[in-house]
A and B are shown apart, each in its own frame.
Chain A
Amino acid sequence: MTDPTTPQEQLGTLTMLVHRFEPGTDEVPRFVEYEVPYGQDTSVLDALCWIKDTLDPTLTFRWSCRMGVCGSCGFVVDGAPRLGCEQFVRDLGPGPVRIEPLANLSVERDLVVDLEPFMQSLTAVRPWLVPDPDDPVTEGSHTQTPEQMLAFHDYTMCIDCLLCYSACPQVGLSPDFLGPAAITAAVRYDRDSRDHGQRERLPVLDSQDGLWDCTFVGACSTACPKGVDPAAAIQQAKAAAARSWAAEFLLPRRGDRP
């Protein structure tokens, strides 16, 4: 069988400046320089693993799938939020290249950021399917045409990597802002023809720290590695909230289904 540890053809080396911070030891973060060999298919994640295996086992970062689907390995690479497994070293440089933790989230250690605020936001928007209260489907499957799926499908592709939180200026300014991925999760269900939970989610979205914090810079959509377009989701949620107000005003008690 193939031996994946066989050194592939080396294209060169790159100097990486990696953000280090050990709680209890470091007062402030520091940057440590590493010289990393790379080949045609060496990703930033591979490079970090190489550093950990061969130079410094204490370098700390999250990773798992190494194929762009688990969402663990978001870093800021030369100023831009990227998935480490999808950013190839060959496309960087000439160096030194800075590897930093995602911005706008507090740093636990080295490249590991605190995900708890996001987990709370995600839970707060009630990201689950609410059945039709009058006529719930309790057996078999709903019917849903491919066209109906198009209304929300892109929003299901979010991997919760939080590159969008790193990119969003509002997340940095108002720490309680729900943020792009959490709002997108709500909109994903709101726009699902099987769901009847919009009324439950609206008060969370249409609140102090909800979707109105968004100033529509669109940085989230630029940063998204999965083409989810959270900015569009937020705009749709704003429009839906506005329609709901109008409907509430004109047709009391029917504002839940604009």
Chain B
Amino acid sequence: MRTLRADVVVVGGGGAGLRAAIAAATARPDADVLVISKVYPMRSHTVAAEGGSAGVVGDDDSVEQHFADTVSGGDWLCDQDVVEYFVEHATEEMQQLERWGCPWSRTDDGAVAVRRFGGMSRPRTWYAADKTGFHMLHTLFQTSLKHGSVRRLDEHLVLDLVVDDGRVAGVLTYDQRDGLPVLVEAGAVVMATGGASRMYAQNTNGAIVTGDGMAMAYRAGVALRDMEFVQYHPTGLPGSGILITEGCRGEGGILLNADGRRYLQDYALGPETPVGSPQNKYMELGPRDRLSQAFWHEQQAGRTVRTPRGDAVHLDLTHLGRELLHARLPLICELAEQYMGIDPAVAPIPVCPTAHYTMGGIETDVTTQTSLPGLFAVGECASSGLHGANRLGSNSLAELVVLGKVAGERAADFASSGGVPSTAQVRRTAESAAHDRLSLMGRGTEPPSQIRDELGRAMDGGVGIFRTREGMTATAQTVAELKARYAEVRVVDTCPVYNTDWATTVELGAMLDVAEATVHSALAREESRGSHQRLDGFGERDDERFLRHSQAWFDPAGPPRLTYAPVTITTSPPASRSYGDAGRTTGGGR
């Protein structure tokens, strides 16, 4: 088998992976850093992030407030040591991006501008119009090109971690262009493969967001933590799920039900704020979990708007005026026009909640280290402990660079002290894994697209915004059946190059594993916290039993084994989580 070596392998070329690669190359210029990505890095899904990236600026804001917003936003399931590190380093990373050329939007005097975002008590979200992820990704990618020690394997699908003697020894990957498997022996591996929300039928994610890295770590014996916490973004386009940024509401957009009422005032987010005067942590600037839950209630009550692609509410931006919309939200104008035939300057955009982000992922500590020596994980694929039970908008882009830097430095250190393992056993393991995966080609009876569609419907149905034991059990059963069918999955295509039939089937296997961890973690959490809300008698937060992280451990024979681990609390003991006026009087809201 073709075999390569690198000190640090970064799997994934999105924001987290590229930041890690640059950090590794900067910290240890003699280290050989290799970024392996299944797409060209500028296609990575970071590209689709819109609204912005958090970092405290200005005298009226403080890292303490950013900390408090994040911890209460996460319904106290955040590891507070991680939140502390994050808020203290977010601004310097935004500035670093600026010095690398990121075209942040500016105020008239040439300073970087910030905007309001949901659940944040102050405007602290840096933005590049409404293409923030796009600009961050291209800035990081172009900056990475100047580092000669950062090499890349583009359009290489990583199939598995190679573990030897209790540590990571490398990765097995497949070169789509040359059509052959490649073993990359590595001193350390940084997993930066993004989320898994493509396992839901209606989601905001690109086709590539299939949980590959989560599944690889999971199969290698690392816990997937807090997988039950899946964020529904309250404003996606019905049907396609295309993201309509929270920045719309940060700029003053309002949400209306079928009766034209700003219904969020009925869900402990009010009182109603004047149109054109958005107020942090009120109404439309509440957190995503609460807004998606409010939609669900409106839908149950028959107050949503019927569209050809499902129920929706109206996101009204008309009062903002064409000039501001085109300056601050140009992409949204384009998307609304192209995909809905709507000019947001004259008509509201129909929106509904769609699966968006996995708060959980590969368990790491504050240094991005996993329980498997040599394996680090960062970005959406990781559960660093930052987001708890609900992520605040604009904390994830910042996480990519704050913790991406940590991951790159730590991985480079690890590789430098541990060397690059290379044994006959490593090669045999890789050969055998390659054989297993490649033997999928040209066999089977079960069409993968049907398994994928059924998985999506089952996840939407059972592990959505509100959950019941009955619904989750049905989904768990469906996922088990789909896994059984996957054993006979049909891959028609036998061409070795650019075999996307096979590659998407490999990705489907990852989604099935991650889905199984998600639904079983959700079933076992008998409380309601953040994005995990139950209708079957567990409607309240239960700190006594569940102020704990869930850990799902892979079991090849059946559902995952579940354990629980403590949450790190430093300065903010659990309190009531409130927004709107209620947030003014309780500790949770400030």
Stretch from A92-100, A148-156, A165-173, A240-248 contacting the other chain:
A148-156
Please, which residues of chain A bring their CB within 8 A of the CB of B448? 57
Is B146's CB under 8 angstroms from A69's CB?
no
Which residues 480-533 of B sit at the A interface, judged by CB distance below 8 A? 491-493, 495, 497-501
Range class of the B interface residue count: 35 or more
Is A58's CB under 8 angstroms from B493's CB?
yes
B88 vs chain A, min Cβ distance (A): 15
Is A194's CB under 8 angstroms from B101's CB?
yes
| Alpha-carbon distance between A160 and B137 when the two chains are bound, in angstroms | 12
| Alpha-carbon distance between A185 and B239 when the two chains are bound, in angstroms | 35
| Alpha-carbon distance between A189 and B308 when the two chains are bound, in angstroms | 45
A contact face: mostly helix, strand, loop, or mixed: loop
Is B110's CB under 8 angstroms from A144's CB?
yes
* A/B interface sample: 26 pairs, CB < 8 A: A8-B308, A8-B309, A23-B497, A52-B500, A53-B449, A57-B449, A60-B498, A60-B499, A64-B39, A65-B48, A67-B240, A67-B242, A68-B338, A69-B131, A70-B44, A70-B48, A70-B206, A108-B177, A109-B497, A115-B40, A128-B142, A143-B110, A146-B106, A157-B131, A160-B40, A185-B142
Is A141's CB under 8 angstroms from B112's CB?
yes
A85 vs chain B, min Cβ distance (A): 9
B63 vs chain A, min Cβ distance (A): 16
Is A4's CB under 8 angstroms from B99's CB?
no
Please, which residues of chain B bring their CB within 8 A of the CB of A119? 40, 154
* Interface residues in A, total, Cβ within 8 A: 70
Is B457's CB under 8 angstroms from A5's CB?
yes
| Alpha-carbon distance between A138 and B138 when the two chains are bound, in angstroms | 21
* Interface assignment of A137: CB less than 8 Å from any CB of chain B: yes
Please, which residues of chain B bring their CB within 8 A of the CB of A66? 206-207, 240, 242
Is B238's CB under 8 angstroms from A64's CB?
no
| Alpha-carbon distance between A52 and B492 when the two chains are bound, in angstroms | 11
| Alpha-carbon distance between A159 and B134 when the two chains are bound, in angstroms | 8
* Interface assignment of B202: CB less than 8 Å from any CB of chain A: yes
Contact string against A for B residues 438-481, beta-carbon threshold 8 Å, 1 for contact and 0 otherwise: 00000000011100010011001100110000000000000000
User: A57-B493, A140-B95 given. 13 additional CB < 8 A pairs?
Assistant: A2-B311, A2-B352, A3-B201, A4-B201, A5-B453, A6-B310, A8-B239, A52-B500, A58-B493, A64-B208, A65-B45, A68-B335, A128-B143
Is B207's CB under 8 angstroms from A63's CB?
yes
A161 vs chain B, min Cβ distance (A): 10
B249 vs chain A, min Cβ distance (A): 19
| Alpha-carbon distance between A139 and B353 when the two chains are bound, in angstroms | 40
Is B103's CB under 8 angstroms from A153's CB?
yes
A115's closest neighbor in chain B, by CB? Answer: B40
Is B43's CB under 8 angstroms from A72's CB?
yes
Chain B interfacial positions (CB closer than 8 Å to A): 39-40, 42-45, 47-48, 95, 98-101, 103-104, 106-112, 131, 134-135, 138, 142-143, 145-146, 154, 177, 201-202, 206-208, 238-243, 308-311, 331, 334-335, 338-339, 352-353, 447-449, 453, 456-457, 460-461, 464-465, 491-493, 495, 497-501
Is B202's CB under 8 angstroms from A4's CB?
yes
Is A3's CB under 8 angstroms from B310's CB?
yes
| Alpha-carbon distance between A189 and B138 when the two chains are bound, in angstroms | 13
Which residues 27-81 of A sit at the B interface, judged by CB distance below 8 A? 40-41, 52-54, 56-58, 60-72
Is B101's CB under 8 angstroms from A189's CB?
yes
| Alpha-carbon distance between A148 and B465 when the two chains are bound, in angstroms | 45
Is B331's CB under 8 angstroms from A69's CB?
yes
